[in-house]
């Protein structure tokens, strides 16, 4: 079973977290969004309270999520954004609109595509085996790199991470493999619901050039948050919330 915390009133807004995290990452946004939406804070399979969980193939995980999530507006951050794009493609009847945050149709860099070097993902995978905690903390540091108050942002992310059980090593390795191999570039043009893409200008994981790359493939509305890194909803919460409310026409 997928663990989902639901609160608020109004249209459904489903939030999917990123790799290594859990739904506690959205804690600071909840008071500002529940007056407008019924929030569904999802622990992805194998994360947080959605444990124990036997790792399955990407397609099976997507099917399970689509079966258990309500129909509504779907917001995904980082890996959660990749998952949200896949759900919107395969189960369009489930998704009223799509919001991808610091996410990409393909996370790996190539000569024609901005992203992370594959070697970085390999290093994270290797690091998980030798020092699980240190590897996660290094990932947190990359997420906040260059943000105006990076130390405070890291502290907030750590607090969210520690609220719930840590994901298994198996699940973390599987997530890194998905980030490395899942590539939706050839099909994201088929997403036909309203789509907002939010980027951080200082993001080292989904670099700002991704905005232009995705613009060539979709008709999505795009927003770049200045001085934000990979977690713009943490470093710039009010601006982020304003963009969400404006996009969903409730501001």
Per-residue pLDDT tens digits for 195-210: 999 999 999 999 999 9
Residue 152's pLDDT is: 87
Residue 226 falls in the annotated catalytic set: no
Structure tokens at 92: 């369009």
CATH 3.30.2320.80 fits 3-247, yes or no: no
Catalytic residue selected from 203, 214, 229, 235: 203
Residue 214 falls in the annotated catalytic set: no
Q: Report the side by side order of strands in the sheet with 12-16.
A: 3-8, 38-43, 12-16, 72-77, 95-101, 195-200, 221-225
Residue 53's pLDDT is: 85
Catalytic residue selected from 23, 50, 78, 100: 78
Residue 251's pLDDT is: 45
Contact 87, 62 (CB under 8 A): yes
Which residues of the chain are under the pLDDT cut of 50? Answer: 251
pLDDT (tens digit per residue) in 36-60 = 999 999 999 999 999 888 888 999 9
Tell me how far apart the 2 most distant CA atoms of the chain are, in Å: 47
Contact 136, 110 (CB under 8 A): no
Cβ atoms < 10 Å from Cβ of 17: 25
Closest of 51, 23, 65 to residue 167, by C-alpha: 51
Structure tokens at 177: 């493999």
Residue 158's pLDDT is: 87
Catalytic residue selected from 23, 230, 235, 236: 230
Residue 168 falls in the annotated catalytic set: no
């Amino acid at each position: 079973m997928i663990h989902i915390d639901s609160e608020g009133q109004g249209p459904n807004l489903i939030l999917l977290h990123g790799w290594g995290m859990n739904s506690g990452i959205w804690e600071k946004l909840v008071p500002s969004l529940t007056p407008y939406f019924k929030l569904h804070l999802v622990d992805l399979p194998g994360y947080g309270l959605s444990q124990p969980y036997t790792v399955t193939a990407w397609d099976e995980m997507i099917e399970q999520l689509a079966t258990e999530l309500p129909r509504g507006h779907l917001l995904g951050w980082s890996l959660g954004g990749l998952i949200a794009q896949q759900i919107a493609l395969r189960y369009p009847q489930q998704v009223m609109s799509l919001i991808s945050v610091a996410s990409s149709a393909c996370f790996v860099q190539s000569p024609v595509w901005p992203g992370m070097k594959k070697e970085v993902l390999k290093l994270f995978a290797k690091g998980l085996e030798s020092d699980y905690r240190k590897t996660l903390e290094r990932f947190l540091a990359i997420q906040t790199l260059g943000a105006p108050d990076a130390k405070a942002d890291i502290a907030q992310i750590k607090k969210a991470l520690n609220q719930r059980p840590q994901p298994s090593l198996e699940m973390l390795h599987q997530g890194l493999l998905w980030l490395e191999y899942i590539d939706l570039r050839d099909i994201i043009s088929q997403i036909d619901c309203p789509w907002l893409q939010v980027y951080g200008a200082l993001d080292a994981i989904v670099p700002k050039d991704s905005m232009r790359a995705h613009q060539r493939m979709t008709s999505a509305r795009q927003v770049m948050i200045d001085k934000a890194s990979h977690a713009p909803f943490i470093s710039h919460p009010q601006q982020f919330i304003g963009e969400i409310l404006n996009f969903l026409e409730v501001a």
